[in-house]
Amino acid sequence: MLPGRIILIVLVLLSCPPPAPAISSPSIPDLLLPWKDWVLHGYEEQVFCTPQADNPARLQCDWPSQLSLELTDSGGSFTQSWLVQHEQWIRLPGDLENWPEKVTVDENPALVIARQGVPQVKLKPGEYTIKGDFSWVSMPEYLTVPRHSGIVALSLDDRSIHFPELDEQGRIWLQADKQKEEKVENRLAVKSFRLIDDRIPLKMDIFLQLDVSGTPREITLGPVFPVGRFIPLSLNSFLPARLEQDGRLRVQVRPGQWNLTLTARHVGQVSSLQFRPPEDGHWPGEEIWVFNSHPDLRVVEIEGVPAIDPLQTSLPPQWQKYPAYRLLAGETMQFKEIKRGDPQPAPDQLSMNRSIWLRFDGSGYTL
């Protein structure tokens, strides 16, 4: 039984996907390949799906794109693309009262099943485009849609609704959106801050503040870090966001103020970091960096960039306790290494506990 458990543990470890696209999956020895399907049975979601940034135990297996709705007083249609990482039931727009008709997946007729009171189709891993129609006597007050759809493009009677009213229950209110809307210009303001955590390896947190106005849309920022020198670790965003392999960040934005945090680690030793703002048309020409030192690992001095008062900036409050520096485009933060390791380590300590057992005849002790 023990050899079987060892094979199971080894195969699970070798079959798990890498935490970042830049790291390739380890190969499985030929001797263990026949056991692969048996080991992974029941663990497909852990292997193929993506853990959520705020809760790694929760897995996201389906990723929707923009949902397009074209509705009139007599019916309408919808279109949405999906990326499915593991076989899933995909939620469709509509409900039992407003059932989607003539549903197709990649132009092929699809079987729609009522599950948990909503229409759903079952899809295997892959990329799909789902289309369907609606018909009703009069336009309903609201229409339910997949709650994690990032952007909803709504058209009522051939008139685009720039700000659809979508609540937390996934209901898009139609009657409220039939009123005339004021045209608003699309604008985007980006502020960027970085926390340099001088660990081994060095970590960098990129904190983005997005001030968005206008229509819901998809934007591309970056590359947000030098590809090849940094490996992404996590992305925390309330908005639907995706980090591409070239370091670009795709975000489905809507009006409001939003914060995103990206964490990456450096490859190899670091003696300097240069600020090169991406040429995406949105990135600011200056950034504020803060430095979190670890004297037990190494002692460095920051050179090449001016220090500023962190309390006089719009840094995240939890970062204002660190030394702050302002960097303009092309400037380099240099790390002058003074010492490596703890120059005054704590003295060695040894503690020992022993149990002494007295023999029954009293002739001695046993340790």
* Domain identity same for 123 and 259: no
Question: How many distinct structural domains can be found in the chain?
Answer: 3
Pairwise pLDDT comparison (12 vs 242), residue with the higher score = 242
pLDDT at 345: 72
Q: Is residue 359 part of a domain?
A: no
Q: Is residue 50 part of a domain?
A: no
Mean pLDDT of 290-319: 94
Among 97-106, 140-149, 181-190, 208-217, name the one with the lowest average pLDDT. 181-190
Boundary residue ending a domain (178, 205, 230) = 178
* Domain identity same for 257 and 225: yes
Using a pLDDT cut of 90, give the percent of the chain over it: 49
Pairwise pLDDT comparison (363 vs 184), residue with the higher score = 363
pLDDT digits (tens, 9 = 90+) for 207-224: 999 999 988 889 999 999
Q: Is residue 347 part of a domain?
A: no
pLDDT digits (tens, 9 = 90+) for 152-192: 889 998 888 877 887 778 888 887 655 444 456 889 999 99
pLDDT at 7: 42
The C-alpha angle with vertex 62 and arms to 56 and 68, in degrees rounded to 5, equals 135
- Residue 232: domain span: 187-340
pLDDT at 176: 61
- Whether 26 has a pLDDT exceeding 80, the answer reads no
* Domain identity same for 153 and 174: yes
Strands 256-266 and 298-303: unpaired
Q: Is the four-CA dihedral 46, 264, 291, 229 of positive or negative sign?
A: positive
Strands 286-292 and 187-197: parallel
- How many angstroms separate the CA atoms of 140 and 107, rounded? 27
Binning pLDDT at 50, 70 and 90, where does residue 25 land?
Answer: low
- How many angstroms separate the CA atoms of 314 and 108, rounded? 52
pLDDT at 367: 79
* Domain identity same for 173 and 207: no
Boundary residue ending a domain (147, 178, 209) = 178
Mean pLDDT of 61-81: 92
pLDDT at 152: 87
Boundary residue ending a domain (178, 202, 233) = 178
Mean pLDDT of 126-132: 95
CA dist 171 → 143, 165, 168 (Å)? 6, 8, 7
Binning pLDDT at 50, 70 and 90, where does residue 358 land?
Answer: confident
* Domain identity same for 201 and 317: yes
* Domain identity same for 156 and 17: no
Q: Is residue 364 part of a domain?
A: no
Q: Is residue 306 part of a domain?
A: yes
pLDDT digits (tens, 9 = 90+) for 328-338: 999 999 999 99
Q: Is residue 157 part of a domain?
A: yes
Whether cis (ω within 30° of 0) applies to the bond prior to 17 is no
* Domain identity same for 253 and 298: yes
Buried b (16+ CB within 10 A) or exposed e, 171-201: bbebeebeeeeeeeeeebebbbbbbbbbeee
Mean pLDDT of 52-78: 86
Binning pLDDT at 50, 70 and 90, where does residue 18 land?
Answer: very low
Supply 175's token pair.
């009657």
- Whether 196 has a pLDDT exceeding 90, the answer reads yes
* Domain identity same for 20 and 82: no
Q: Is the four-CA dihedral 19, 20, 23, 24 of positive or negative sign?
A: positive
Binning pLDDT at 50, 70 and 90, where does residue 20 land?
Answer: very low
- How many angstroms separate the CA atoms of 132 and 145, rounded? 13
Among 17-31, 77-91, 149-163, name the one with the lowest average pLDDT. 17-31
Binning pLDDT at 50, 70 and 90, where does residue 263 land?
Answer: very high
Whole-model pTM over 0.85: no
Q: What is the CATH number of the domain that holds 287?
A: 2.60.40
* Domain identity same for 310 and 256: yes
* Domain identity same for 233 and 294: yes
Q: Is residue 353 part of a domain?
A: no
Q: Is residue 47 part of a domain?
A: no
* Domain identity same for 231 and 303: yes
Mean pLDDT of 54-70: 84
> Helix or strand or coil: residue 33?
helix
- Whether 193 has a pLDDT exceeding 50, the answer reads yes
- Whether 24 has a pLDDT exceeding 60, the answer reads no
* Domain identity same for 37 and 75: no
pLDDT digits (tens, 9 = 90+) for 265-298: 999 999 999 999 999 889 999 999 999 999 888 9
